[in-house]
Homo-oligomer: A and B are copies of this chain.
Amino acid sequence: MTTPRRVTIRDVARKAGVSVATVSRVLGGDYPVLAVTRNKVMRAVRELDYVPNAHARALSAARPGAIAIVVNTIAVPYYALIAQGVEDQAAQEGRLSLICTTGGDNGRELSIVQLLREQRAEAVILVGSVIVDEEYRKRMTEYAHALAAAGSRLVLCGRPPLGEGVPALVVGFDNTGGAHAVTAHLLSAGHRRILYLGVRPGHTTSDTRVAGYRSALAEHGVALDPSLEVEAEFDRDAGYAAMNRRLAEGPPDFTAVFAGNDLVAAGAIQSLHEHGLRVPHDMSIVGYDDVPPAQDLHLTTVHLPHDELGRAAVRLALGRVTTSPMTLGTHIVVRDSVRPLGPR
């Protein structure tokens, strides 16, 4: 069974008894065509079930390119929600959107960006933190210049700028502010020994949240205790494991936990429960992101406008708005995971 040749615009032209130019004009747009001619063409299109070839179109005409979003994985709500925002805004702008996943591998990310250059993507939106090594920064910087030279835009979402003079738009959440607010929330509930669970050296998202945590403590005159800043990846298992390790050392020397994100909080809560500690009665905890498990866990957390981030990235990429760097506000969502401490 051989593949029967595709129907092309020339087939339509032949069938309709007109030239290919006329067919193109009827399908394409604003060029004047007599109603009777248009009808002949449309009939031929229908009868042959002609579907124009997007590649040929992209090649011949200077049409708008796709909008690509590159994330770690789509299976994590944080990324999925942002991606959905991009998708929605792109659709609204009439653009095709490509979602690519890297699995958190810098090498894969670089080759995906290269792939997107081949696809002549009009915008490349990179989302989420990376551990930036020198090789990566060098190559991504080259890509940034190359994309700019080709008229495409590079947007960095919730990640550090590449450096001075590198053509890239930046939009992110106010992590430091949010972390400050939620830490202040714990402090004003009377907590003084607050475990920060989610240090990740070199990761901007983590670094900025830690910064907010520290500045809030400083403002309240609470001395920093390095032993209260605990490393953990930003997923449920890491939160669970880290809390398990901590609790194995003996009874907790803290009354509250600030988890790097809600997934870490969920894992930590499971560990706490397994150690007989109830939230919020025996231990207060707050999270970050306000993604799905948060509501069910009655978790006080920081709400991030994920959808808005995605939409803003697209608007920036298309030049609809030009404020870069752009910082999106966050707000604390108080649920039921923090218990006020009585006066000492």
Contact = CB atoms under 8 A, between A and B. Distances in A.
Interface of A: 3-4, 6, 49, 51-59, 73-75, 77, 80-81, 83-84, 87-88, 91, 96, 98-99, 101, 114-115, 117-120, 142, 146, 149-151, 236, 266, 269-270, 292-293, 295-297
B77 A84 contact: no
B51 A55 contact: no
**DSSP class of A's interface residues: helix, strand, loop or mixed?**
helix
Nearest to A81: B75
A51 B293 contact: no
A81 B236 CA distance: 16
Given A54-B118, A236-B295, 7 more contacts: A3-B151, A49-B142, A74-B74, A96-B115, A98-B99, A266-B295, A269-B296
A10 to B, nearest CB: 15
29 contacts: A3-B151, A4-B149, A49-B142, A51-B114, A51-B117, A51-B118, A51-B146, A55-B55, A55-B58, A55-B59, A56-B59, A73-B84, A74-B74, A74-B84, A74-B87, A74-B99, A75-B77, A75-B80, A75-B81, A77-B80, A80-B80, A87-B99, A87-B101, A96-B98, A96-B115, A96-B119, A98-B98, A99-B99, A270-B296
A146 B49 contact: yes
Contacts of A91: 101
A115 B58 CA distance: 13
A59 B59 CA distance: 9
How many copies, total?
2
B297 A55 contact: no
Contacts of A236: 295
Contacts of A101: 84, 87-88, 91
A53 B118 contact: yes
Nearest to A306: B75
A53 B49 contact: no
Contacts of A3: 150-151
Contact of A55 (B120, B146, B293): B120
Nearest to A299: B296
A276 to B, nearest CB: 15
Contacts of A59: 53, 55-56, 59
Contacts of A99: 74, 87, 98-99
A53 B74 CA distance: 27
